[in-house]
Each structure stands twice: as structure tokens, then as C-alpha cells.
């Protein structure tokens, strides 16, 4: 579809790999195209001058009619990215969360200097009991866990009950036909498979299991489909 309206860009996977960007023309308009995805699918972002955005949009929609193209909104995007375990900074993170806590060690250079490197080397940042990003699967697949709800090992303990973490994102996945959630949990990666309880003042105790935060297509094959 993109190739039918785009000139000057080789869209072959070998020439246009994931995370690359290229410049060309789309429907006669100068554009920059980035092969990135917040849904885990093969996807591209198209950047154009604001005055030409409507023209570019119409050209893409027209080109995709025979392929069943349809726009989707922010809520759908949130569900798609959560299925892949993609975080939203400021929702699944706060100012204390590091790339290591998110399982994103690969993004941190071991050789280069960068702003924040000193903070990442502090003893507090290297603690083994920090909260880490994990997935949560409610026992009831139709129950969407409340965002912000606290996670405990046993809600029946006498108060104050030790808190393990909290739910950061929670949705019903039509693809997986069940609810899914992301959470920050103390020593979370070592707790995968462990049973916990999610507590909410209004809804009470909801049992759940800590899981891998990537619920769909863990191999990433659809990104290259």
C-alpha cells in the first residue's frame, strides 16, 4: 500500500530495516518515513509538513481501500502496545524506574558516556529488590484489574500489609480473549508464575498470577511480516 503512493524510497526489508528512516515523496509531498511500531506489527510512521498532512492522510486511506484499511484510535493503540509489553513513560514508569527495571538493559551503552549514567551506577539502582516490570493475568479472564491497584502476597494479613507493587496498565485484549495488565512488582522477574492478590478499595481482592510482560508474539515475528 505504501509503495503504491510513495516514490524515492526502497521499502524492501533489506533496504529499509526496523528503526530506520528514509526521505522521499508521498502523493507528491516531501515526507520522512520511519519504520517503527507501537503495536508490534509491521508498521511505518509518515511525517509531512502540517499543511500537507490532510492530503497525505487522504492518499494513504484511498490507497488502502482495497486492502481493508481502517483508522484506529488511542485506546486501541494502548491495548496493542500492552499486548507486546511496550511501556508508556509516565504511566508504566515514574521518576525512580530505570531501563534495567524495565528489562531494557540492551538500550544502555556499556561504553559510551551519557546523561544519567552516574545515577544508574548508584548502589540503590543496583539493588536486587527493586520493582520490575512484569505482566499480570487475573484468575477471571473477564476481570480487568484496576490501574493503580496495590499488589500483595496475602491481603488477609493484619495491617499494614506489605505492598509488592502496583498495576500500571490494564485492558481487555480482544486478540487474547482475556484481560491483561502490566505492573511494577518488587523482584518481579523472579516472581513470574507466582500467585498474588490485587487489592482495590472498591472491588476488594482479585487473585492473579505474575507473568511475562509480553503477552502476544514474544518472538516479534509480526514486526517483520
Q: Phi and psi for 34 in degrees, rounded to 5?
A: -120, 135
Of 43-57, 153-167, 199-213, least confident by mean pLDDT is 153-167
Q: How far apart are CA 172 and CA 22, in angstroms?
A: 36
DSSP 8-class letter at 168: E
HSE of 20, CA atoms in CB hemisphere, 13 A: 12
Mean pLDDT, rounded, for 203-221: 95
What 3-state class would DSSP assign to 41?
A: coil
Residue 133: in which H helix or E strand, if any? strand 131-138
Q: How far apart are CA 209 and CA 196, in angstroms?
A: 6
pLDDT score at 110? 85
- Please report which residue ranges of the chain form alpha helices under DSSP H: 2-5, 53-63, 74-83, 117-120
Residues 78 and 144: beta-carbon distance below 8 Å: no
Cis peptide before 53 (omega within 30 of 0): no
Take residue 220 and report the three cell numbers written for it. 516479534
Q: How far apart are CA 61 and CA 175, in angstroms?
A: 24
Mean pLDDT, rounded, for 110-125: 89
pLDDT score at 80? 96
Q: What is the mean pLDDT of the chain?
A: 94
Mean pLDDT, rounded, for 9-20: 93
Residues of each domain in the chain carrying CATH 2.40.30.110:
86-211
Q: Is the four-CA dihedral 86, 89, 92, 96 of positive or negative sign?
A: positive
Fold classified for 86-211: Elongation Factor Tu (Ef-tu); domain 3 (2.40.30)
Q: How far apart are CA 65 and CA 5, in angstroms?
A: 13
Q: How far apart are CA 171 and CA 181, in angstroms?
A: 6
97 — pLDDT class (breaks 50, 70, 90): very high
> Which position has the higher pLDDT, 199 or 225?
199
Fold classified for 2-67: Gyrase A; domain 2 (3.30.1360)
Note the pLDDT tens digit of each residue in 167-210: 999 999 999 999 999 999 999 999 999 999 999 989 999 999 99
pLDDT score at 159? 83
- Strand ranges (E), 141-219: 150-152, 163-173, 178-186, 195-200, 204-211
In the predicted structure, residue 225 carries a pLDDT above the cut 90: no
pLDDT score at 65? 96
pTM, to two decimals: 0.90
Q: List, as own/partner pairs, every contact residues 64-69 make where C-beta atoms lie below 8 angstroms and the sequence separation is at least 24, other chains included.
A: 64/1, 67/1, 69/1
Residues of each domain in the chain carrying CATH 3.30.1360.120:
2-67
pLDDT score at 223? 87
Note the pLDDT tens digit of each residue in 129-155: 999 999 999 999 999 999 999 999 998
58 — pLDDT class (breaks 50, 70, 90): very high
pLDDT score at 121? 86
128 — pLDDT class (breaks 50, 70, 90): confident
Phi-psi region of 92 (alpha: psi -120 to 50; beta: other; left: phi over 0): alpha
Mean pLDDT, rounded, for 201-221: 95
Amino acid at each position: 500500500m505504501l509503495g503504491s503512493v510513495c516514490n524515492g524510497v526502497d521499502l524492501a526489508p533489506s533496504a529499509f530495516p526496523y528503526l530506520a528512516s528514509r526521505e522521499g515523496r508521498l502523493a507528491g509531498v516531501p515526507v520522512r518515513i520511519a519504520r517503527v511500531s507501537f503495536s508490534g506489527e509491521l508498521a511505518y510512521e509518515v511525517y509531512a509538513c502540517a499543511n500537507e498532512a490532510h492530503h497525505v492522510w487522504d492518499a494513504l486511506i484511498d490507497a488502502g481501500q482495497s486492502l481493508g484499511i481502517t483508522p484506529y484510535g488511542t485506546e486501541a493503540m494502548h491495548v496493542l502496545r500492552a499486548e507486546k509489553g511496550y511501556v508508556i513513560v509516565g504511566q508504566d514508569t515514574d521518576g525512580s524506574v530505570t531501563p534495567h527495571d524495565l528489562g531494557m538493559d540492551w538500550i544502555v551503552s556499556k561504553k559510551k558516556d551519557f546523561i544519567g549514567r552516574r545515577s544508574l551506577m548508584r548502589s540503590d539502582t543496583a539493588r536486587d529488590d527493586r520493582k520490575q516490570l512484569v505482566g499480570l493475568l487475573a484468575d477471571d479472564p473477564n476481570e480487568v484489574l484496576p490501574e493503580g491497584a496495590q499488589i500483595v502476597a496475602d491481603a488477609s494479613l493484619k495491617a499494614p500489609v506489605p505492598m509488592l507493587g502496583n498495576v500500571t496498565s490494564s485492558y481487555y485484549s480482544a486478540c487474547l480473549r482475556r484481560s491483561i495488565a502490566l505492573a511494577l512488582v518488587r523482584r518481579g522477574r523472579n516472581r513470574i508464575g507466582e500467585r498474588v492478590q490485587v487489592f482495590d478499595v472498591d472491588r476488594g481482592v482479585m487473585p492473579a498470577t505474575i507473568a511475562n510482560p509480553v503477552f502476544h508474539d514474544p518472538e516479534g515475528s509480526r514486526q517483520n511480516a
